Structures are given as C-alpha cells and as structure tokens.
Amino acid sequence: KYVEFLKKTKSRLVVTNNKFLSVIPSQIYAIEVPNVLLSISIITSLFYPDSVNDNSDFGVSRINKNDYKNLKFGNNVLIGKNVKIGKNCTIGHNTIIEKNVSIGHNCNIGNNVVIKNSIIGNSTNILDGAILGKKGFGFFPEGNLNIRYPHIGAVIIGNNVEIGCNNTIDRGSLSNTVIGDGTFLDNQVHVAHNVKIGKNCIITAQVGFAGSSSLGNKVMIGGQAGISGHLVIGDNVKIGGGSGVIKNIPSNTKVMGYPARNIRNFLRDNKIND
C-alpha cells in the first residue's frame, strides 16, 4: 500500500524484500533484506541507541527560579536540559519535564505530569497525571521472541489544547504523534504512536486510539469508543460512545455500534428511536 510513495520519495535508499524489487524506481538503490521490520529496527537502534527502552532523563534537576521568570510552579518540579517554557505558565507539584521539551506561552501543567519528546503550543492545559511523549506499544514477533521496535518520533500539540487527567499520549515511531489546535481530550484517553488528530476535535473519556490512525477536523467521539490502527476518519465525523471503529469513515458521517456503522442503521437494528 506504500508503493505510490516510491514515486514521490526523495530518498536514495529503500529497504525492501525481493517481492518489491521490481517496483523500485531506477534512481533509488534497493537494500534487499529478508525481514524489513527487523532490519529497520536494527538500523534505527544504531542511530538512536536509547530509543528502544526510552529510559528516564537522569539529567533533570529542580527548577531554578532565575532560569524561568514569569513562571509559577509547585514543589519538586524537575526540569531537563534545553527545556523551553514560555511566559505566564503554571507547573504543578511533582511534575517532570525532560530534556529538549518546548512549551509555549500561557500554558497550565498539572501535578504529577511527565512530559518528554514533546513540542507544545500556546494556551494549552495539561491536567494532573498525564504522560506525554513516552514510547508506544511497538513490537513485532520474530520466531519465539517479541522484538521491541524503536520509537524516535515526537508528540506535537497545537495551541489551545486540553489534555485531561491521566491521559497517555505516545511519541511517534518513525513519524510524530500530532494533536491539532483547539482539540479537547477528556480524562483517561490513550493516543497511540503516530496518531494524527485534527483541529477542534472533542474526545470524551476512556477513548482509545490504536497506532497510525488519522482524524480530520471537528471530530466528536463518545466515551469508551475504540479506534483501530491505520484508519482515516474524515472531518465532522461523530462516533457514538462504546463504538468500535474498524474501517475508514468518510467526512460528515455519524456512526455507532460494534462494528461502527451508520447511526440510523444502528438505531433501527437495535429498535431504538433516534
């Protein structure tokens, strides 16, 4: 399904198996391997040796008031090197912001929050207990073992975003996890690696996104819905609570149920008045 990207890529090297050698453009050098996932994992680990375990930043230290003026913060706040925090931000107790994180102006960060591998826009609220930028659930089976897949992407959060309590937003694997401007996430939402959420979406409690799915703008999702991986959900889509989405959903559609289907059909089949 990625063959079309070969026509546009600026890469001079492509890792592939012999099944696809015939479709590699002549200007691209093909590196033939028996197992692409395993090979990419090995290559990525060579360039980013810490990405498999994604260990804690042991270079953090207690925040220094002189380094961050116009900032209000609680007790036991730990900050890594090269962290950028804008003006008029508030950071709660026991929060850890690891190296190279960037946070915009007028942001509110709650208590017991962990942020790493992230770029956060202006006027964004991150509530208590949220974890942003840790590695996702990336692995693949190889023989009798499950091989951990390196995650080297970031979390990119736009302006005026709300991240609820105890949300977990995973860093991307080879690309980034993105949450667009004006999007609000309720408590206990899980956003897996490489997920792209558009602008002004509303995601209510306990919704889970599997990896690499993409949402358009102004999507609304009811509580406890599950979104499978590698799906495309259009603009202005409404997904009922408790739904299981296992295929793409076009724009301006309302769905509900498991598997999720047109909401009128769901209500009719279950003899519910809409």
Has 105 been annotated as catalytic?
Answer: no
Tokens coding 219: 């999507």
What CA–CA distance (Å, rounded) separates 93 from 162?
19
Task: Identify the active-site residue in 93, 105, 151, 193.
Answer: 193
The answer to whether 230 and 248 are in contact (CB under 8 A) is no
Strand, coil or helix: 89? strand
Would you report the helix, strand and coil content of the chain in percent, each value rounded to 5?
A: 10, 30, 60
86, 89, 93: which is closest to 72 by C-alpha? 89
92, 95, 97, 89: which is closest to 70 by C-alpha? 89
Q: Which residues, including other chains, have CB under 8 Å from residue 28's CB and lie 6 or more apart?
A: 6, 9, 11, 12, 13, 14
What are the catalytic residues? 193
